[in-house]
Amino acid sequence: SQQGEEDPQALSIQEGENATMNCSYKTSINNLQWYRQNSGRGLVHLILIRSNEREKHSGRLRVTLDTSKKSSSLLITASRAADTASYFCGGGGYQKVTFGTGTKLQVIP
Amino acid sequence: DAGITQSPRHKVTETGTPVTLRCHQTENHRYMYWYRQDPGHGLRLIHYSYGVKDTDKGEVSDGYSVSRSKTEDFLLTLESATSSQTSVYFCAISEARDEKLFFGSGTQLSVL
């Protein structure tokens, strides 16, 4: 079974708005990672938050982690058309990273 | 793509034939992974390696085998391909356990 489930499955917003994606995971993790995938390409690492951290920022990205609820959220502020992609969360633990099903984000110019 | 090469990029094969996909890295990373990506399922881990000759199963390992005889190469073999193995296969590498992954460009495999 897969580690995580992202919510929503698809999200469409206007350029300049904020986009929030949520991830729930099942088993204990050492860290939670977020990746972006542009159509037809491999995944690109965005940000990693460790299990003892609650919030992390990187540029326009903000990630939170709630280990008691086994959930994480990714916020992209001031979205751009170039942010259009699929976003995946991955739970890091036991020598591997297992992924959820992804959120497809469309940013309309 | 962080020194990762997957070959072939595209392959069409027939049911029952053996298929081997290759992942080659130039980063000298210890950990290597094979994932498959299917609509509605996201990425699912097939097998992974934590060193030369050290491999373990992932979530969907049935019908697949792997080998790693050198740090830089990780091979995924479908002994007898089935239509359910039609998918996009991604190789990934990591310097340390559970840490940031670098992905290859993928192999589109069609089993007819």
Q: Which CATH number is B55's domain given?
A: 2.60.40.10
The beta-carbon neighbor of B101 closest among A41, A45, A93 is A45
Asked whether residue B97 is domain-assigned, the answer is: yes
Q: Is B42 close to A99, i.e. CB distance below 8 A?
A: yes
Per-residue confidence (pLDDT) for residue A4, from 0 to 100: 67
pLDDT for residue B18 is more than 90: yes
Question: Which residues span the domain enclosing B67?
Answer: 4-103
Whether the CA torsion B37, B22, A97, B29 is positive or negative: it is negative
A40: alpha, beta or left? (left if phi > 0; alpha if psi -120 to 50)? left
Using a pLDDT cut of 90, give the percent of chain B over it.
Answer: 90
What pLDDT score was predicted for residue A7? 86
From chain B, pick out residues whose CB is under 8 angstroms from the CB of A102: 42
Beta-carbon contacts of residue A47 (< 8 Å; ≥ 6 apart): A33, A34, A56, A58, A61, A63, A74
Chain A contacts of B46, Cβ < 8 Å?
none
Number of domains, chain A = 1
Query: Quick one: pLDDT at residue A98?
Result: 87
Identify whether B110 is part of a domain: no
Rounded average pLDDT over B83-105 = 94
Chain A contact for B10 (CB, 8 A cutoff):
no
Residue B30 in any domain: the answer is: yes
Domain contains B72:
yes
Interface contact B105-A30, CB threshold 8 A: no
The closest CB to that of A96, out of B40, B42, B45, belongs to: B45
Domain of A50, CATH number, reads 2.60.40.10
Q: How many domains does chain B have?
A: 1
B109 belongs to a structural domain: no
Please say if the pLDDT value at position A23 is more than 60: yes
Cα–Cα dist B23/B73, whole Å? 6
Between CA A48 and CA A31 the distance in angstroms is 7
pLDDT at B1: 52
- Using H for helix, E for strand and C for coil, what is the string for B63-98? CEEEEEEECCEEEEEECCCCHHHCEEEEEEEECCCC
* Alpha-carbon gap, residue B83 to A30, rounded angstroms: 36
Closest by Cβ to A45, choosing from B58, B100, B105: B100
Q: Is the pLDDT of residue A60 over 50?
A: yes
Residue A57 pLDDT > 90, yes or no? yes
Q: Is residue B69 part of a domain?
A: yes
pLDDT, position B99? 86
Q: Which structural domain range is residue A63 located in?
A: 4-108
Q: Residue A3 has what pLDDT?
A: 59
- Whether the pLDDT of residue A15 is over 50: the answer is yes
Look at residue A27 in the predicted model and tell me its pLDDT.
85
Q: Which two tokens stand for residue B89?
A: 């296969």
Q: How far is A19 from chain B (nearest CA, A)?
A: 20
Q: Classify residue B112: in a domain, yes or no.
A: no
Q: What is the pLDDT of residue A1?
A: 43
